[in-house]
Structure 1
Amino acid sequence: MCRIFGYFNASATPHEMRTVAALQRHGGPDATGMSRAPGWGLGNNRLAVVDLDGGEQPYGRGGPVQVVFNGEIYNHEELRRRLEALGHVLPDRCDGSVLPALYLEYGEEFTQHLDGMYALALLDTRGEVPRLLLATDHIGMKPLYYRWDEADRALWFSSELPALLGFAGTGGRLRESALDAYLTTRTPFGSRTMYEDVAVLEPGTTWVCALGGEPRVRRRPADVRDERITQGSSAARQVRHTLRSEVGRLLVADVPVALITSGGLDSSLVTALAAEQGQVHTFNIAYRGAWPFDERHYAREVAERARAVHHQVEIDLVDFPKLLEDTVWHLGQPNSDPIALSTYALFRAVREAGFTVALTGDAADEVFGGYERMRVAAERAAAGADWSTGYLDALSAAPAALRERLYTDAYRAHVATDPALPVSVLQDLLHGPGTVLERVTRFELEHRLPAYHLRRVDHLSMASSVEARVPFCQRSVVALGRALHDHQRIQGGQVKRTLYAAAAGLLPDRVLSRPKQPFTLPVTAMLRPGTSLWAYARDLLTLDRIAASGRLDGRAVDGLFTAQAERPDDTTAQVLWALLVHEVWEEQFRRAARRGTAVGTPPGGTRPLAVAA
């Protein structure tokens, strides 16, 4: 697991390359490697997970193909045996060392042979001019940000957005519709970011360009449906068997591995399957004091059944302002999910306890149909009622009607011409092939999951030099989920029917029968008069600061505070939280740029967390 960066058909000073490396060294503290020549440069920060003494990047340095790589290739041993049988000599047993030889054998299709998570940059110098290939994994577990200058046909790229800003001239133009996109979908979707000149390479994408030429961008097809599992109870058995196999593979590392255990079905099932391989360490996060949605007792019950060493992490509400500033900085753009703050704190505790890898339960809801909004959409569609309005509002940080009231007249007119969701994506969601649940699942997997969840997990784990591994994102598991019929996902008010069936007998009955609840901060209870979070929000979201941008009506925002103080409400609290996160981002990135402060300066440390084993 690493961080990568570089440029192509462009220039960057050694100081810029060092700056970019420094800005994301938290994600790769063990080594830094660079390779440069006229017109191009490749760089890497390494987090050593496999073959701790090997793995020098760029891989293939000095040869015709050089690669910098962020991620894990879980089938690297199989690939190594195949490549060595073909006559290739590989320098070490690091997973990424197979990449140059694999490309030499299979060309641009080499990614089809990779089983894992990755974002990579490959330089091929065999032709008259060098060629650069960028590629991302099938579902977007490892992001890659880039700036493409169409006029000069120049490219700069990096694993993290704040680091990319270390290249001169990057991030100078805010996308004026970005606030609307953020409030509509909780973070920018697709290839867009908050900046006009910065994009994200979408999942399953291969980008190829010759020096000085135009890029070819290709979205690779999703895995083909496996019809063999779509009938009868065999689906649950096959899901359990496949998950057991994948969890076992993802536990393999040359460093200590932990489990994130929230107490819900998804992470608890991963924990139970991991414990079959031997003793595990589990981590759960909670908040000091008495708050709603406290899951620590469920997590402890799962850990006890798994005979795990359990680590209970606690954070204090008084620490939230500093934690939020650190969280927003590492994300590089706003993400309105309150759990982002807890995610950052939890992975920091994992690292402080001595672990470098952690398995999580993320993506099960998208793969197997676990969200309440999916259930409601399917049921309303079956009844012939409108389902899309409620579904889209459930995705948002602020429902459409409330956004209308919050925007100024000028901003409302502007965003009407630049919708938050790309037209093609919205058309597929509303009118594409398949049932409503199939279309919603496709949208959740291909668009919302990578943008909203996986980037957050990647950035906030690597902020503390922890590699997050996601069994539910493995290609074999995703293929099984995609093959399910609607009734195997949701029926009779029950979500994730096949996954619950797969977990039967492996988890405590209380965990299997408990009502589903989100893994999140109890923001409605915490954002109340008298709390430190309320005071912090009031200090940042003042009338003058809100009105200065000309996008939001300051009086309307002030009215949200009044409503929350008098009649606490989940929707109002979520909107205030989202606006607070956006204001923190504005302060750290945009206002800093206008003041001449170095944009992308890492935050300082926070005090140690309370962790009990």
Structure 2
Amino acid sequence: MCRIFGSFATRVTRPELAEVSARQRHGGPDEHGTLVGPGWSLGCDRLAVTDPAHGRQPYRLASVPGVLVVLNGEIYNHHELRRRMAARGHRIPGACDGQVLPALYAEYGADFAAQLDGMFAIAVVDVRPGGPPQLVLAVDDMGMKGIYYHSGSGGSGGSGSGGGVRFASELPALLAFRDVPADPREEALDSVLATRTPLGEATALRGVRTLPPGATAVATGAYGLRVHRRTPRAPAPRGDARTVLRREVRRLARADVPLCAITSGGLDSGLVTALAAEHARAVGAPPPHSFHLTYRGRWPGAEHGYARAVARRAGTVHHQVELDPAEFAELLPRAVQHLGQPNADPITLSTYALFRAVREAGFTVALTGDGADELFGGYDRVRAALAAPPGADWVSPYVEALAAVPRPLREWLYTPAYRALIADRGSDSERIAADLRAAPTARIATVTGFETRHRLPAYHLRRVDHLSMAWAVEARMPFCQPAMAALAGRLPAAARTGKRALYAAGRGLVPEAVLRRPKQPFTLPLGAMLTAGSPLMELARDTLSPGRVHHDGRLRADRVQALLARQAARPTDTTALAVWALLVHELWRGQPAAGSVPVRVAA
């Protein structure tokens, strides 16, 4: 697991590269390597997980001089690939997973990523004699690891002409390249309020994009970056949900560094925790450690009792991490900074604090339950959409459920000029609704396709990656493996809705109390915490001051103040989430990653 960066078909300076590396070194504190050639650069900040004593990056092999590779992530089938490459004459030293990549690229070219099983973001610079220099970028099928890039051709994915490419694992690091501007998109505020974060390949900054899940991108000196989507790996699942998940947990529980499990108190993380403990017993290893985050004091929706029950049943060494709400005003700006662009889910603060505790306890790898809701239809909005009768409008309520701020409230908060701008350019929610209505697939395939291909990588996996790596922790996600995705895709609609297949898998593994409890997300009890006089409310009042809001030009300052007063007088979850989304966006807007400049909307 690492942070990677580089450039192609453009000149950069070593001080630039040093600054890029420094801005994401929190995720790769163990080793740093950079190579620079005519018109290209490649670098890595390494978090040493597999074969920690070896595997220095960028990777190079004597058998393929001129092929240079950096990897962020884990390649789980590297032993099999190593044997295959050795049979073709490649001598691969050490036991690090990424050392096989130069040989794999030499054999398969830009199609090499189709051979990989893992979570990865990879950059290859090919400067072998006899062919044009080439840059290849690739990310895994689920989007567990990502790449931000800026292309001189505009980064549209088309065949632009002559544009240099700069890329990095984190957006603030990418902005350290002097030719990458911090230019916020006017529509980004509406994206945050309507879908909680920018979805798809666009980011909150103009000209900065991310590779979509399962994408490979190629650039040569004659063309900008050209992006195409690979056919996803779809192994035939063998067995039921418990059998497949057990196999994935055991594969991902192998590590050369200390490993733990995240235990929220819900079904998904409970299954992963139980199976990780089962695996430890099977191989004669000590019981794994489990981590749960709660909040000091008494708050509604506390889950620590359920998490303790999971830990007792599984036999883990359990850590209950208590976060003091007095820390929120200090921690939230840091979490927003690490994310690089705004994400309005209150879980960001909890996630950031939880991985801090994991790292401070000495763990480098954590197993999590992320991805289960998207693959197995766990969200209320999904169940409601699938339950709507034929002919009913299921799309409108589904899209509205994605929002941090309901549409009428958004339009009430916007200035007339900003309302006109969004009406002219169209909102993300309108585009999503149009795409869902036009989809040719059955409703369950349409909904789960949107959840897994668009919302999961941008909203969920990107958050987990950035906030775990903020503390140099590698988060591994058994539910996001190809075998689990293939299993979910082959289930009948009834078994894929409401996570029925996972509830069946949990019987006998997790406590009955966890199976019977209503679904509850791991997040802040925001409505109870964002109240008059609380640390969060004071941070919101300071950050959303009338002067700052008016200077930006997109929100009516008087109505933002009215919203704050409403939440202080009559706290509700809906109003609290609206305030939170505005707070997160404004904290982001004030940071260097957003340029620290107002977005001027013409009247």
TM-score category, normalised to shorter length: over 0.9
Residues 89 and 419 (structure 1 numbering): CA distance in 2 closer, same or farther, change over 3 Å? farther
Q: How many residue pairs get matched?
A: 582
5+ residue gaps, structure 1: 230-236, 596-613
1:81-96 superposed matches below 5 A: 81-96=83-98
- 1:355 touches 1:466 (CA, 8 Å); kept in 2? yes
Which residues of 2 match residues 153-172 of structure 1 at below 5 A? 153-172=163-182
Matched-pair contact (CA < 8 Å) for 1:174–1:195: yes
Kindly indicate whether the alpha-carbon contact (under 8 Å) linking 1:225 and 1:482 is maintained by their aligned counterparts in 2: no
> How much does 1:485 deviate?
2.1
SS in 2 for 1:564: helix
Give 1:25's aligned amino acid.
R
Task: Give the Cα separation in 1 of the matches to 2:450 and 2:492.
Answer: 16
Shift of 1:532: 1.4
Supply the AA of the counterpart residue of 1:282. S
Q: Equivalents in 2 of 1:42, 1:84: separation in Å?
A: 26
Residue pair 1:154, 1:212 contacting (<8 A) in 2 also:
no
Sequence identity (%) = 54
Partner of 1:601: none
Which residue does 1:609 correspond to in 2?
none
Look up the match of 1:569: 572
- CA shift digits 1:419-470 (9 cap, x unpaired): 3439875444222122322211100000000000000000000000000000
Say if 1:225 and 1:401 are closer, same or farther in 2 by CA, change over 3 A: farther
1:457-606 to 2 correspondence within 5 Å? 457-490=464-497, 495-589=498-592, 593-594=596-597
Compute the displacement of 1:267 (Å).
0.2
Matches within 5 A, 1:290-305: 290-305=298-313
* CA distance in structure 1 between the partners assigned to 2:424 and 2:82 by the alignment: 51
Quick one: which of 123, 129, 132 aligns to 1:129? Answer: 132
Tell me the alpha carbon deviations over residues 543-591 of structure 1, each in whole angstroms, 9 at most, x when there is no partner.
Answer: 2211111101112211212221232211111010011111111122367
1:212 Cα deviation after fit: 3.2
1:152 Cα shift?
4.7
Deviation of 1:519 after TM superposition, in Å, equals: 1.0
Match of 2:25 in 1: 25
2:193 aligned residue (166, 170, 183): 183
Change (3 A) 1:407 1:474: same
Contact 1:428 1:439 in 2 (8 A): no
**Aligned-partner Cα distance in 2 for 1:314–1:187:** 28
Per-residue Cα deviation, 1:300-353 (whole angstroms, up to 9, x for no partner): 110011110001111111100111011001001110010101101100100000
Spell out the pairing of 1:28-47 with structure 2 (5 A cutoff).
28-47=28-47
Distance (Å, rounded) in 1 between the aligned partners of 2:432 and 2:572: 31
2:93 counterpart of 1:101: no
Q: Provide the TM-score with structure 2 as the length reference.
A: 0.94
- Matched-pair contact (CA < 8 Å) for 2:195–2:429: no
- Residues 438 and 486, structure 1, Cα contact 8 Å, conserved in 2: no
Q: Could you tell me how far apart the structure 2 residues matched to 1:82 and 1:558 are?
A: 64
What are structure 2's unaligned runs of at least 5 residues? 154-160, 281-286, 599-603
8 Å contact from structure 2 (residues 175, 593) kept in 1 = no
Q: Separation in 1 of the partners of 2:434 and 2:581? A: 27
The one-letter code sitting in structure 1 at the alignment partner of 2:463 is R
Q: Specify the code of the residue in structure 2 equivalent to 1:465.
A: A
Give the CA RMSD over aligned residues: 1.7
Q: Which residue of 2 aligns with 1:75?
A: 77
Would the aligned equivalents of 1:328 and 1:585 in 2 still touch at CA under 8 Å?
yes
| Structure 2 residue identity aligned to 1:542 | S
* Match 2:443 to one of 426, 436, 440: 436
Are 1:372 and 2:375 an aligned pair? Answer: no
Matched, 1:334 2:342: yes
Note the C-alpha offset of 1:81. 1.1
- 1:272 alignment partner, one of 271, 274, 279: 274
Distance 1:425 1:482, change over 3 A: farther
Query: 1:24·1:160 contact (CA, 8 Å) conserved in 2?
Result: yes
CA contact (8 A) 2:114 2:233 kept: no
1:185 and 1:420 in contact (8 A); partners too? no
145, 149, 158: which one aligns with 2:148: 145
- Residue in structure 2 matching 1:210, options 209, 220, 224: 220
| Contact kept? 1:4, 1:69, Cα under 8 Å | yes
Could you tell me how far 1:594 is from its partner in structure 2? Answer: 4.9
1:529 to 1:593, Cα distance in 2 relative to 1, 3 A: closer
The answer to whether the 8 A contact 2:590-2:596 is kept is: no
Distance 1:444 1:195 in 2: 23
Which stretch shows the higher mean deviation, 59-68 or 324-333? 59-68
Alignment of 1:380-395 (within 5 A): 380=388, 382=389, 384-395=391-402
In the alignment, the residues of structure 2 paired with residue 590 and residue 247 of structure 1 have an alpha-carbon distance, to the nearest angstrom, of 36
Secondary structure of the structure 2 residue equivalent to 1:416: helix
Supply the AA of the counterpart residue of 2:325. L
State the secondary structure of the residue aligned to 1:98: helix
